[in-house]
Amino acid sequence: MIDFIRRHRRKLAFAALGLGSVAAIGKYAEVKFASWQQLQTKAALSRAGREQHFEATSRTAALTLRALFPALKKAIRTKIDSNEIIERIKETPDNKAELWNELKVAAFARCLAFIYGGSALAILIKAQFNILAGKIFTDPQVPKKSQEEFLRIVSREFIDSQLEQICEFSMELSRKFVGEIGLVTKFTCNNLEDFFKEILSQKPNLNLNVKIEDESDSMLNELIDDLNDVLEISEADWIKVNESCVEVGVAAILDDLAEAFEVNNDLCPSNKAKCLPLAKIVPMLNSVVEAASEDDEDDEFCLRLNSDLNKALESFSANIYEAFSQPKPQTNIDQPAFGLKQFINLFE
């Protein structure tokens, strides 16, 4: 046995070295696999956490939009006031036909402003909530004061300032497209839908950027800059989202009017689609922005904007949250954080 070992000592030494190397490699592989498993588990938990946080953010944004819609309607009623025209019509003046034409223009303008305004407000609310939520997910220490001011200033500036541009644009469109149409002109529901789509194909030159008020609050400035950058960088994308929301608004309004076309089916020959004269449609359009109740938060347009079926707005929101909720890399200070530049790539 000793002779065997002596004769083959070199082979045995290499064999032992090989077995030791295999054992070492196996141990190293085991450690690396365990580390990989930990990273995968951590990544899975992070994804799950972000998904839950995004869903909670979506619910909060939806509730906020519902709460703001009554204020949106009230602002449109104030900026495009048709009540004075209606009161003058009730007095049966000599220029009653002229007043009815004024009411016709105002009624259509109200609907246009509601559709344009509701769509733009939905985009702003979804964008700001997902930017803020993404920031909070990566840095829970975002000052509460900055959060509250950010949420307050965006909706306030839109309703106080930017909505004014929308209402003026809507009045111009209404005068151009509706002004010369007679009140006896009959519309089917499909005719009315096509007419609205023709008008709404005109895009307002709307700047949704938010102005900075408090330059001393660095976090508030950062949040507002992020919102403005998202709206600027992804302008082509949010315009597409806006077009999708506008279609939702047209469908919601016309679905509400559809019953009236069914009830008044004796106004058209039986072999034709049900229709109504414009004089009967105008009062219904005028009432679209009227409050249905004291607590008017269940507007059909708003409900559809918040629906999961509104894929364009949902995808837009998810992309924003994805961009801003990514953890910032710590190991390589030269590697840029996932943010606005990477946000652009999500749409390509």
**Tens-place pLDDT, residues 168-187:** 999 999 999 999 899 999 99
pLDDT of residue 328: 66
pLDDT of residue 206: 79
**What sign does the CA torsion over 177, 183, 188, 193 have?**
positive
Non-local CB neighbours of 123 within 8 Å, separated by 6+ positions: 208, 238, 241, 242, 245, 313, 316
pLDDT in tens, 215-264: 788 899 999 999 999 888 767 777 889 999 999 999 999 998 887 787 65
The residue to which tokens 């089916």 are assigned: 265
The span from the CA of 209 to the CA of 161, in Å, is 11
- Write the DSSP assignment of 59-87 as a string of letters: HHHHHHHHHHHHHHHHHHHHHS--HHHHH
Provide the mean pLDDT of the chain. 80
% of the chain surpassing 70 pLDDT: 74
Number of helices followed by number of strands (H, E) in the chain:
13, 2
Query: How would residue 39 be classed by pLDDT, with cut points 50, 70 and 90?
Result: very low
pLDDT of residue 214: 66
pLDDT of residue 297: 63
